[in-house]
Structure 1
Amino acid sequence: MGVDVKNELEKRVASQSAPIKLTKDMKIVDMVKALEPEIRRALPTVLTPERFTRMALSAINNTPELANCTPMSFIAALMNAAQLGLEPNTVLGQAYLIPYKNKGTLECQFQLGYKGLIDLAYRTGQIQIIQAQVVREFDYFEYQYGLDSKLIHKPGEGERGEITYIYGFFKLLSGGFGFEVSNKADMDAFALKYSKSFGGKYSPWTEDYEAMAKKSIIKRALKYAPISSDFQM
């Protein structure tokens, strides 16, 4: 997102005449209640603080380690999901709240999921088709960039082997299209460089590598799509 929610929330809380006291042992319900004025201002009108609290409790039930993260980082990460209208840490795979160590402190990081990105793309009203696929070693795969670009993928039958490539493509309602391809080694290097949680126990890269690789390649493909700046942000 364009604004660092955690830093913005910390500034607002610190600027109040009576600073809000948050402690590591504070229950999530009490934390949300203490921050309710700021949360209410930050959330979409369709999402109440009560609904926000239920999302928080659900996320912690699904990933108990989140309860040990710094309170402000958890609230900020949850706000990111709420502002996008996405459910974090559910089987829907829309978004993830991930605990990770930052200079020895356990913090919570928001990460958009593959299905969440797809949902956001369709919300623009400009996308006809958007999809990503993994290619395996016994598939037939051929691609070519340039003025005579092409993308051909025929999945193998039976045992398809290990992942070799990941690709994503889109087609606009206007008829325009685009695609992006990455081999497995390049995707791993990308994840290692840009994901703070890569390799961690709770990382979606560990739990669902295929979905995260698909999300990453779709994001690259959409850089070439003439869609709204709000969505690109």
Structure 2
Amino acid sequence: MATNSALKNQLANKQDAPKKVSAQSLGLKALLSTPTMKKKFEAVLDKKSPQFMSSLLNLYNGDQGLMKAEPMSIVSSALVAATLDLPIDKNLGYAWIVPFYDSKKGHTAAQFQLGYKGYIQLALRTGQYKAINVIPVYEGELVKWNRLTEEIELNLDGATSDKVIGYCGYFKLVNGFEKTVYWTREQIESHRIKHNKLKDKKALNGVWKSDYDAMALKTVLRNMLSKWGILSIEMQKAFTEDEAEHEVKDITEDSSVIDGDFEIVDDEQSEQPIDTEQTEVSFDDVQ
């Protein structure tokens, strides 16, 4: 028969044991406050980790759609951006964390999407590109385009309206090789509809709905670089991760539980923005 002393010791050991909670049951704030997640971001970003996590929480608090997404999918997407060392502020246009409804799994998840500025940034880091750009072409600006020779003539002062009729991409390598591509608005739309995951293929969603031109520019740039550009290991990773769907269970060291001391926060207290200038992430006022 167990003595009182033995029972007390057993209870004390249980109280001292690390808490184990399903990662999927945590809100974003509580998930990021766990030692496991802090270590993951610190391993990638080092001293920049607190600022990046602050920007992630600010992004989350300012996006009603993202608040409905699985927290683990948000973290997964954020870690991709962190690995590529790209900011996730959607106003900057380097990378986006976009919520979408997964009809197969019956829930909303987040997805990492690379912006055209992100592709340009990664290309410049290789040191192989002397020049790279992509622009919208307005009605009246296109003088001549030869699909075979890829010779294009634009009159950038000749716009007759604000209507975008196409998108032009260009790069020149330090070795002298250069490439120019031009997509009509109709070609962009055909590509968008073909790859649209919605049942209504013509419906706009995500960044295509909020910033059509940015996604069109990205489409042209991505296609051009993938066919003719020099791709570093980092750029190859970006191409693979862009708009990829991940299993959220792969984010933690243990796919089912997260160990550590943390506080589950009431969602009603998670609406307040945080100060991105702080040197440490505070998990007391936001989720």
Question: How many residue pairs end up in the alignment?
Answer: 212
Gaps in structure 1 of 5+ consecutive residues:
1-17
- Look up the equivalent residue of 1:27 and give its one-letter code: G
Q: State how far apart, in whole Å, the 2-side matches of 1:150 and 1:220 are.
A: 18
1:228 alignment counterpart: 232
Aligned residues of 1:77 and 1:110 also touching (Cα < 8 A): yes
Distance in 1 separating the partners of 2:233 and 2:77: 22
Partner of 1:199: 204
SS at match of 1:43: helix
Aligned-pair distance for 1:156?
A: 4.8
* Distance in 1 of aligned mates of 2:20 and 2:181: 48
Q: Which moved more, 1:73-82 or 1:130-139?
A: 130-139
Letter in 2 for 1:96: W
1:229 and 1:195 map into 2 onto residues whose CA distance is 28
Indicate the residue corresponding to 2:57 in structure 1. Answer: 57
Deviations 1:164-200 (CA, angstroms, capped at 9, x unpaired): 2212110111211112221112211212333547712
Q: Aligned partners of 2:20 and 2:196: how far apart in 1?
A: 33
> Which residue of the partner structure matches residue 92 of structure 1?
92
1:19 and 1:194 map into 2 onto residues whose CA distance is 40
Cα shift at 1:60? 1.1
C-alpha spacing 1:135/1:185, structure 2 compared with 1 (3 Å): same
Structure 1 229/53 Cα, relative in aligned 2: closer, same or farther at 3 Å? closer
State, as a whole percentage, how many aligned pairs show the same letter: 25
In the alignment, which residue of structure 1 is the partner of 2:144?
142
SS of the residue corresponding to residue 23 of structure 2 reads coil
Give the conservation status (yes or no) of the 8 Å contact 1:29–1:53: no
Query: Which segment drifts farther, 159-168 or 117-126?
Result: 159-168
Instruction: Name whichever of 208-217 and 58-67 sits farther off.
Output: 58-67
The answer on whether the counterparts of 2:41 and 2:79 sit within 8 Å (CA) in structure 1 is no
Residues in 1 aligned to 2:165 and 2:73: alpha-carbon distance in whole angstroms = 36
In the alignment, residue 57 of structure 1 is paired with which amino acid? L
Q: In structure 1, how many angstroms separate the alpha carbons of the residues matched to 2:38 and 2:186?
A: 46
The structure with more radius of gyration = 2
Give the corresponding residue for 2:249: none
Q: CA RMSD in A?
A: 2.6
Runs of 4+ off more than 3 Å: 44-47, 156-159, 195-198
In 1, the alpha carbon distance for the partners of 2:142 and 2:162 equals 12
- Give CA-to-partner distance per residue, 1:77-113, whole Å, 9 cap, x none: 1111111111113321111111111013111111111
Q: Which one scores higher on RCO, CA 8 angstroms, separation ≥ 6? A: 2
- Judged with a 3 Å threshold, the aligned counterparts in structure 2 of structure 1 residues 141 and 80 are, in CA distance, closer, same or farther, namely farther
3-state SS of paired residue (1:85): coil
The 5 A counterparts of 1:12-161 are 20-24=21-25, 26-34=26-34, 35-36=36-37, 39-40=40-41, 43-45=44-46, 47-48=48-49, 50-103=50-103, 104-146=106-148, 148-157=149-158, 159-161=160-162
1:42 deviates by 6.0
